[in-house]
Amino acid sequence: MGIIKIIHGDLTRQTVDAIVNAANTTLLGGGGVDGAIHRAAGPELLTACSALHGCATGEAKITPGFHLAAKYVIHTPGPIWRDGTQGEAQLLHNSYANSLALAAAYNCQTVAFPSISTGVYRFPLAQAAIIALTTIRDFLATNDTLQTVSIVCFDSVTLAAYQQAAQQY
C-alpha cells in the first residue's frame, strides 16, 4: 500500500510523476495554484488545456507538465462551496478519486495534490482535509500503482488542518 505525505511547500516545485491542478472548469488558467502552475509550466500548458475543451467539476483531465519537474499535470475543478447542501462533499471526493484514477491509468507512482477548493472556492478547510485524506487512503488500499501521494500545503494553516485530519484515522 502506498503512503500519504503531508508537506509544506510549493506544488509547482515538486519532483513527482504528476501534480494535480485545482483548476476551474475552463482549464484556461486562473488565480491561486492554477495560475502558479500555468506560469511555471509555460505557455504550452495553456495550448494543451485549450484542446481539452474544459472539464466538469469533480472530473479530471491530464496534460504533459512541460517546464515543471512533474511529467504530468492532472487538472480537476473542485466544487465551489455554497452551503454544504449542493453536493460539495461528493464533488470534492470525486475530484480526488478521479485524479488518482487518472494518475494510476498513466502509471504514475508519485502524485502531489494541493488542498483542492479551500482557497477562493471557500470549502471549509477541516472538512476538505478529511475528505481528501479519506479518499486517498481508500484509493491506496485498492491500487498498487501509486506509491506516494503528497498533499502539498502552501501555508501553515493548511498544513495544520491536514496534520490534524490525519490524526483522526
pLDDT tens per residue across span 11-20: 999 999 999 9
Q: What is the pLDDT of residue 151?
A: 98
What are the CA-CA distances from residue 92 to residues 13, 41, 43, 76, 164 (Å)?
24, 25, 28, 10, 19
Q: Among this protein's residues, is 10 annotated catalytic? A: no
> Tell me: the pLDDT tens digits for 106-151?
999 999 999 999 999 999 999 999 999 999 999 999 999 999 999 9
Number of domains present in the structure of the chain: 1
Q: Active site residue: 10, 17, 34, 138, which one?
A: 34
Tell me which residue range forms the domain holding 66. 3-166
Which CATH number characterizes residue 11's domain?
3.40.220.10
Confidence of residue 24 (pLDDT cuts 50, 70, 90): very high
pTM attached to this predicted model:
0.97
